[in-house]
Structure formats: structure tokens, C-alpha cells
Structure 1
Amino acid sequence: MTVDIITIQPLIALIAGVLILIMPRLLNYVVAVYLILIGILGLVG
């Protein structure tokens, strides 16, 4: 099984959603980290 951006995006989104549900104050940080990760993966992949 290869790990590529198509398999990583839903996993990151799921983890981010759970963190936001548990701690809503993390919303800004979770969104920022998500966007940075997707941007880096998009440039690399």
C-alpha cells in the first residue's frame, strides 16, 4: 500500500474534526496546521 495525498487527506480531516469537537478553541490552530500540511503535500506530491 502506497501512502499518497489521496489517502492522507481524509485521515488528516478526520483527526482535525475530532480535535475540534473535543476542544473547540483549537479550531484556528487545527485549520492552520491542516492547510499547511495540505499545501506541503501538494507541493511535494
Structure 2
Amino acid sequence: MTFHIEIVPLLSLVAGIAILIVPKLLNYIVAIYLIALGVLGLLGHGF
């Protein structure tokens, strides 16, 4: 049995939980999320 985990939904879930726990992290989490999406897009890993 093989599990295939998508990176974007996993990042979204982790970011959402972190924002709920520590709302002051919102700016950092959004910035890191956007940078991660950009890097993955440039490397050709489609979503």
C-alpha cells in the first residue's frame, strides 16, 4: 500500500494550525508559505 502525500495541502494544514495557536506568526507563516510555493513552482513540481 502506497501513500501519496501532497505538499501544498500539508503546508496549508500546518500553517493553519500554527496560526490558530500563535496568531502573531501570521505574517511569517504567510511569507514562508508563499516562498515555498514559489520555490516548488520554479523547480517544476506542479500542484
Could you say which TM-score interval applies, normalised by the shorter chain?
Answer: 0.7 to 0.9
Say whether residues 1:13 and 2:12 are aligned partners. Answer: yes
The Cα shift of 1:17 comes to: 0.2
In the superposition, the TM-score normalised over structure 2's length comes to 0.82
- In the TM superposition, structure 1's runs of 4+ consecutive aligned residues that sit over 3 Å from their partners are none
Offset of 1:21 from its aligned partner?
0.2
Inter-partner Cα distance in structure 2 for 1:31 and 1:38: 11
Structure 1 length normalisation: TM-score? 0.85
- Quote the sequence identity (%): 57
Higher relative contact order (CA 8 A, sep 6+): 1
Is there any run of 5+ residues in structure 1 with no aligned partner, and where?
none
In our comparison, the structure showing a higher alpha carbon Rg is 2
The structure whose residues are more often helix, as a share, is: 1
